Amino acid sequence: MPVSKAVYSTSAKLNNQLNKAHPNLFLIIQKLRNTQAATEIRLIQYDAGGKRKTRKLKYRNIDNRLTQLKERLQKGQINVNHYTDAVSHLLKLG
């Protein structure tokens, strides 16, 4: 079964924090609790109006282009085939 990127990145992050090849279970649990607490604090800060980390320019540009393509499709300026081709090219799917 393939491992998703999210699971792999979480695993890699945890391994980097542990700094041991074979940590004991209690150390792993402690690090997971610390990570969970930090995540909960970050979410509380976001709910209170805290600023999120800005996305890279590359991804902001992709989002803007996808929005433009969607609007053009809804207005009938492009057909579905052109839309799907443009999206797949933009996301490098084909």
The residue extents of the domains of the chain are 5-47, 57-90
Mean pLDDT, the chain cut into blocks of 10 residues (94 residues total): 68 77 88 93 94 91 96 97 94 78
pTM exceeds 0.75 for this model: no
19 to each of 7, 10, 14, 52, 84, how far by Cα in Å? 19, 15, 9, 28, 45
pLDDT of residue 45: 94
